[in-house]
Amino acid sequence: MKRVVVTGIGAVTAIGNNIREYFEGLQKGVSGANIITHFDASKFKTQFACEVKNLIVEDFIDRREARRIDPFTQYALIATDEAMQSSGLDLEKIDLDRAGIIFGSGIGGLYSLESNIEEFARGNGIPRYNPFMIPKMIPDIAAGHISIKFGFRGINYATVSACASSSHALGNAFDYIRLDKADIIISGGAEAAVTHAGIGGFNAMKALSTRNDDFATASRPFDLDRDGFVLGEGAGAIILEELEHAKRRGANILAEIVGSGATADAYHITAPHPEGMGARNVMRMALNDAKMNPDEIDYVNVHGTSTPLGDVAEVKAIQQVFGDHAYNMNISSTKSMTGHLLGAAGAIEAIAGILAINHDFIPPTINHFTDDPEIDPKLNLTFNDAQERKVNAILSNTFGFGGHNSSVIFKRFE
């Protein structure tokens, strides 16, 4: 099969609106959490989130066009534009019929759906819906807009598997290219669920932290006093390209994607399998796909959402898969900084891994104060500060409601 490499990356996150800012935020261990500004959240149990900050959309997208698309699509387009620029692709010199998009979102245009329903309710039942409501809302529309902007006429669809969405997108894109069905695929994910319904819905599930008096440290994966995740938003875009195609045009190769896996817990709609069965199986599947031994992985970017059940189950799975090597690896949750980007989490966390390979550092798990006796203290969970380390290979986990599990492996290109 064909080899597949990364030739471009782009990011919009709560700790940086481009790759340079995102990288600096990861190095410094910056918390992206703050009081919600998108709406008045003072009556909600959770009043903070990891919102995208200081992003002037009109600097990237025409004002009229921006009004016709949901924020999640805006983030997707901005991140993709950066990834395309960094890739150096010349659209006049590639076969656009063999260039495609596989882009994930767990929820899609929640803001557009919510605001139109609220407008309907205020109008005494008179159905005055915006003609753009449906195309703003549907989760596949980001992929559609990216395709139209760059003229990519190959494979084009969205993956929707809750928090595993963009990792599944990366795995699918990897498969299409290595099976010689495409030369280039823009992959990744976007999410913009910091809305009344997003916060209210996750509050009703008791999934979010309610640490309103200390929001900057509310996302604390693996800490004894963790009380739920912090909702994040943004997008990550990754240009995946067939190796020989990239070499012919002299592309700057950032990493190689070498393995992916996808499994189901078949256990519960929201809770993980208590022994991490699905997580264990998906990591083993990704390693087998990559034809790698566990001791070849230097860093695992965990799902690590800061929930009482999920963090423990994932650590158990890692120890089952990696055995004694689990104590030699670095493990961290960058959600402690970015918040949980839901369907965009896999993309932005894979980018954190690609940056780790290119800069030989491990981003930290910030906000650690108290050890959890259920988590082995000998594991290097990279608490509070980034660490320098030679990084040749990383594994990134994402797990979604419904029991969806996905893992992807990237390594230094040779």
Return the active site residues: 163, 303, 340
DSSP character at residue 344: G
The angle at the Cα of 267, spanning 262 to 270, to the nearest 5 degrees, equals 85
DSSP character at residue 325: G
């959600």: which residue's tokens?
Answer: 335
Question: How many H helices and E strands in the chain?
Answer: 13, 14
Report the run of H or E that residue 48 belongs to, with start and end: strand 48-49
Alpha helices in 261-307, H assignment, sequence order: 277-290
CA dihedral 224, 196, 21, 79 (to 10 degrees): 120
Alpha-carbon distance 219 to 368, whole Å?
9
Q: Which two tokens stand for residue 76?
A: 């997707």
Q: What b/e string do you get for 392-403 counting C-beta neighbours within 10 Å, with b at 16 or more? A: ebbbbbbbbbeb
What are the residues whose beta carbons fall under 8 Å from the beta carbon of 248, sequence distance 6 or more? none
One-letter amino acid identity for 374? Answer: E
Mind giving me the DSSP string for 227-243?
--B-BB-EEEEEEEEEH
């640490």: which residue's tokens?
Answer: 211
Q: Which two tokens stand for residue 77?
A: 């387009």
Q: Which two tokens stand for residue 262?
A: 């996808």
The answer to whether the beta carbons of residues 64 and 209 sit under 8 Å apart is no
DSSP character at residue 133: H
Report the run of H or E that residue 199 belongs to, with start and end: helix 196-204
CA 178 to chain centre: 22
Task: Name the 3-class secondary structure at 157.
Answer: strand
One-letter amino acid identity for 162? Answer: A
